[in-house]
Structure 1
Amino acid sequence: MKKHTLLLGLIFISLNIQAQVLKLKKQEFELHNVTGEIVKFQGKKVLKIERDLNALPFDSTRLEATVDEPHYARLLGLDDFENGTIEVKMYSKLKVPAPFSGIAGFIGLFFRVKEDDSEFESIYVRPKVGRASSQRLRNHSVQYFSYPDYKFDTLRKIAPYEYEGSAPTALNEWFTMRIEVNGESAEMFINDEKHSSFIVDKMFGKNKKGFVGLFVDIGTIGYFRDLKVTKRAYQEKKTGEKISDI
């Protein structure tokens, strides 16, 4: 009797830790440390997600350790993205009441995600400061990080402003994020910009191919639709004129 009880208990635990999967049109998303649902928002069916603070607790006194973690919705059916284009429409709004005074609508993309979530690359935005009246704040609108060793605070210390930048984003409105990934570099475009808003010259990640995911962090309610992923072979960059630092 005890053996049967133990077996049933293990099955129950296994079912509870199995990730939830949501389907939006023909795409399926597996939720990793986020809560989510498919909802009708502003007349369209979208994926809505929020960080699950029970699965991954947040501590405002330990920011580096408890943000930029694997809390995201994983696109299923594509586990070998290396180079190419990721494009998605996203909408970010803040939770009320705010769980943390520093919330900024953190929302963006993960790519080259390892199967066990132990490594990945990310570019995300802080829409709250995208149109701030201060240039210093605007310079924190975009963030690159590489999990697990190069989160936002580490990068600010070793290379201030090199892995952050500005972008014309705002809370409570739809915008399109497009990322062009090519070898060790990545560029981010917003809406129909002809030129990128943000460039990562050399990414830190060692995992070179993997899953793609939709990301939100503390205090963000994120809405996503029209995700498109196009794989391409690595393209050799043309050597241009060297520009000296001023």
Structure 2
Amino acid sequence: MIKIKLTLTLLAMFYLMVELYGQQFTKPLLQMEKLESIRREFVILKDGKGNTYVHVKGQPNAGVVWIKDILFETGTIEFDVRGKDVLQESFVGIAFHGTNDTTYQALYFRPFNFRAKDPIRKKHAVQYISLPDNDWPYLREEFPDIYEASMPTVIDPNDWFNVKIVVTKDTINTFVNSLQTSVLTVKSLHKASSGKIGFWTGNDSDGDFANLKITFNK
């Protein structure tokens, strides 16, 4: 009887481990004590419906509001983000595999280019970078149209939109809202390793972030 109980206990533990594999990180992440930044000022706000979001204030150069005590290698990062339709004043996205404020990968958006009539501007709407060696000027010059792409015109540049980034050891796929096709698929330029995740904004750009969900592959 003792052996049977022990076997059933081990089986229960095994099935629990299987269930937990790939689950979302559900601890509250949008709290001041969970966030930190050197280059960015930020505040926690609530909208008219009582929903919490992080507002990152615009400051010179790019910066990241890091989430404490989370290291991410592969899996899915999902969040809602809001920028604005003001030329060269809205660069919003997510940084991951971060070591510090100058070493990370990031996927970000230029909302002011979402509905641009100029075809050159339009195809510069979503951008991948891997710092410090592969910033956007270098990638655009050396690999045109590979690490940036356009966004569907149905996306309102002044409104919230949902982003889901699927990160494997080799590739990064980016989906927006309910679209089933990736708006940008790239091969990673950074050796996949565990690192920090944070809300990213570009030079003189503010931005709003909400509903962060992180699903780990392992």
Using structure 2 for the length normalisation, give the TM-score: 0.78
SS in structure 2 at match of 1:133: coil
Q: In the TM superposition, what are the counterparts of 1:201-212 in structure 2 within 5 Å? A: 202-206=187-191, 208-212=193-197
Is structure 2 residue 143 aligned with structure 1 residue 143? no
| C-alpha displacement of 1:45 | 2.1
For 1:28, the aligned partner's letter is K
Distance 1:36 1:94, change over 3 A: farther
**Runs ≥4 residues deviating over 4 A:** none
Q: In the TM superposition, what are the counterparts of 1:97-176 in structure 2 within 5 Å? A: 103-114=88-99, 116-168=100-152, 169-176=155-162
For 2:53, the aligned partner's letter is V
Q: Contact 1:181 / 1:187 at 8 angstroms: preserved in 2?
A: yes
Q: Identify the residue that residue 69 of structure 2 maps to in structure 1.
A: 77
Aligned counterparts of 1:139 and 1:94: Cα–Cα separation in 2: 16
Q: Identify the residue that residue 34 of structure 1 maps to in structure 2.
A: 40
SS in structure 1 at match of 2:121: helix
For 1:167, the aligned partner's letter is M
What residue ranges of structure 1 are gaps of 5+ in the alignment?
Answer: 1-22, 54-66, 96-101, 234-246
Q: Contact 1:106 / 1:126 at 8 angstroms: preserved in 2?
A: yes
Let me know the Cα RMSD of the aligned residues. Answer: 2.3
Task: Summarize deviations over 1:148-167 as a string: whole Å, max 9, x none.
Answer: 01000011111111111011
Which of 51, 67, 77 does residue 86 from structure 1 map onto? 77
Q: Contact 1:189 / 1:195 at 8 angstroms: preserved in 2?
A: yes
Q: Contact 2:85 / 2:111 at 8 angstroms: preserved in 1?
A: no
SS in structure 1 at match of 2:190: coil
How many percent identity over aligned positions?
Answer: 28
What residue ranges of structure 2 are gaps of 5+ in the alignment?
Answer: 1-28
Task: Summarize deviations over 1:13-48 as a string: whole Å, max 9, x none.
Answer: xxxxxxxxxx73598111231111111234322110
| Greater relative contact order (Cα < 8 A, sep 6+) | 2
Task: Summarize deviations over 1:181-209 as a string: whole Å, max 9, x none.
Answer: 01121000001111111101x22113622
Aligned counterparts of 1:176 and 1:135: Cα–Cα separation in 2: 24
How many aligned residue pairs are there?
188
